[in-house]
Chains A and B, each alone.
Chain A
Amino acid sequence: MKPRTEKFRICEYAILTAVTATVFLLCTCMGSVSIALSDTVRVIGLQLRGAAIPEALQSTVNILWTVRIPRVICVALSGAALSLCGGAMQGLLKNPLADGSTLGVSSGASLGAVIAIAFGIQIPGFAMGGTMILSVGFAFLSLLLILSAAYKLDASLSTSTVVLIGVIYSMFTSSLINLVITFAGDKVRNITFWTMGSLQGSTYANAAFLAGALVVFGLPVLTRAGELNAFSVGEDNARNVGVNVKSVKMVVLVCVSALIGVCVSIGGTIGFVGLVTPHMTRFLTGPNHRKLLPASMFFGACFLMAADLVARTMLRPLDLPIGVVTSFVGSLTFLAIFYSSRRERAS
């Protein structure tokens, strides 16, 4: 048997990309409105070449090119970003249950977004600026708050302490969200739907922003995969092998909260993706973060695209909140993984 290499080789990346591209195409061809495969291909071809659109295809172009494709791209990028965050936090905190939703970071980010929407905090010239900045800020503050509270109680940041504090914090923020909604009245009546996660109305601008955030905040995390490997043995171990513990921690935490904040401000809170995909990926790649993190991004994109496909098509012409699907599938998958890994360890 060949020894496992530290990183993915190019051909392995090619396979991952091909899988993701296939899922992407599948999700583009299927949707609430059925469009013939030949029309789909024709429209994409015409658009890519910048050719004129025949009158008969105009409504297909609108549905496919203006509505469906940007949504699928946003879904894929959100899935990738959230899974990267989950994988990185699980390594950094040496905690298999760490994730934006279990730690309360996502709910902190939604609190920021709800405040921005309810009080009309806007940045001139940048449509979603207020929402985005507040949710990123709140995500970061929440993470700091939760982790420092957990440190005070238990310096080893054990699973149960962190998750307990995360759960309590989530409840706290959701009560604050309800309070804000009560005060702001009619203006945010509809926010309740949005907090379940909605990527309807995604635009290419949203997609570009997500992609930018993924490059700016994702790369620093990916390049610290080696340090995360040291962390997942233990923080002391990381210090002993010469990792600058404080700086790595800070970089990862800032990047993770920025990514979660951006995702929440665009698509609402989408639970369970960041928690489940790194675990599923670990079965294939093993625990090495050099492989785990990039692979998690690909699988996270695929998982969320598939979940969104179910949300879009299951109850045609209705559109389910994507959070319903991810939480449903995610919690079942998670239980299955949890039990099978326990059984393996026991035997």
Chain B
Amino acid sequence: MRKGNKIVAAALLLALTVFALWGCGSPGGSQQGERTDGALVVTDMKGREIVLDAPASRVVALTASDCEIIYALGAGDCLVGRGEYCNYPEEALQVTEVSSGTETNLEQILALQPEVVVMNAMDQSEEQVEALEKAGIQVVINAASTIEETYRSMEIIGALVGREEEASAMIDSMKQAFAEVAEHREDGEERTVYFEVSPLEWGLWAAGDNTFMNEVAEMMGLTNIFKDVDGWAAVSEEQVLQRNPDYIVTVAMYFGEGVTPVEEIMSRPGWEELTAVKNGKLLNLQNDELSRPGPRLAEGAKLLYEMVYGEE
């Protein structure tokens, strides 16, 4: 049975190797920003390693959430460019604007001479990333789609700009806030919520499963009426009436003229019979609190919590 032993040994060896390699491959979220030989090593969401001599002082952030995180960490000074949709906080509007998403413009970015560009993985092509790297600019890919991943992106950015402590404090305070809103979850009563992303006038869009809104809702024991839909999707008005939500959250913008988004929803024909409208349980989140993987997710969660459990 020598041959058999050999096979077993080989299999064991193989398994061990695979296990060891697997262990190496898993990026350690907690080891961000560790210095080896005086260099700063950051592993981004795609598992790419970024090596810097010192914390970055010239950063371009293309995504609104990354821009928010940089400001929340108190590192707004190092931002030399921001994507066009970065509109929070207000100071960010003073920073040079660059095109983002599918319109990402390399020339604009190169002209700002950043050390690091933080971007989302969705819209930029591999070629664009390579071109930036060839020009000596480090590219950090940050694409959080859950709250857990949001924490990681905060750690990554914290390490990049040399604010690891602030980042972990921010994460702790978010965890604390979420823990507070999660307290109410077990009271046996089913409460349903409808997240409206685009108003009826332009065709209804709702936030379904795999969205931050859904995650926050579940955290506090709410059921999203469009849990059977993935991401943001155009839904039927009839379905909203049929599913009769207890709470409605709209992210429509209000421009200070005409009816507010909440009034508009309450005045829709046929909607007056919805439980949410009857009880006046509507919330307008105007500033993307629950749409971006940033520090304000906790604020959005608190606002939603106050509407749902506030007066009890």
Contacts and interface: CB of A to CB of B under 8 A. Distances in A.
A254 B131 CA distance: 54
Interface stretch (B14-22, B200-208, B216-224, B292-300): B200-208
A200 B229 contact: no
Contacts of A198: 202-203
A120 interface: yes
B234 interface: yes
B255 interface: yes
Contact of A316 (B201, B236, B268, B269): B236
Give the bracket for the number of chain A residues in contact with chain B: 20 to 34
B241 interface: yes
Nearest to A32: B236
Contacts of A32: 236, 238-239, 242
B238 A67 contact: yes
Given A120-B257, A317-B239, A190 B199 contact: yes
A186 B203 CA distance: 16
B237 interface: yes
B43 to A, nearest CB: 34
A63 B228 contact: no
A32 B201 CA distance: 18
B203 A321 contact: yes
Name which of A58, A59, A186, A201 has the most chain B CB atoms within 10 A of its CB: A201
Contacts of A320: 234
Contacts, number: 89
B239 A187 contact: no
Interface residues of B, number: 29
Name which of B199, B202, B229 has the most chain A CB atoms within 10 A of its CB: B202
Contacts of B199: 190
A58 B203 contact: no
B8 to A, nearest CB: 53
Interface string B31-42: 000000000000
B203 A200 contact: yes
Given A59-B241, A198-B202, A312 B273 contact: no
Interface string B254-293: 0101000000000011110100000000000000000000
Given A63-B241, A200-B203, A201-B200, A321 B234 contact: yes
A193 B202 CA distance: 7
Contacts of B204: 200-201, 319
Interface of A: 31-33, 58-59, 62-63, 66-68, 120, 186-187, 190-191, 193-194, 198, 200-201, 203, 312, 316-321
Interface of B: 198-205, 226, 228-229, 233-239, 241-242, 244, 253, 255, 257, 268-271, 273
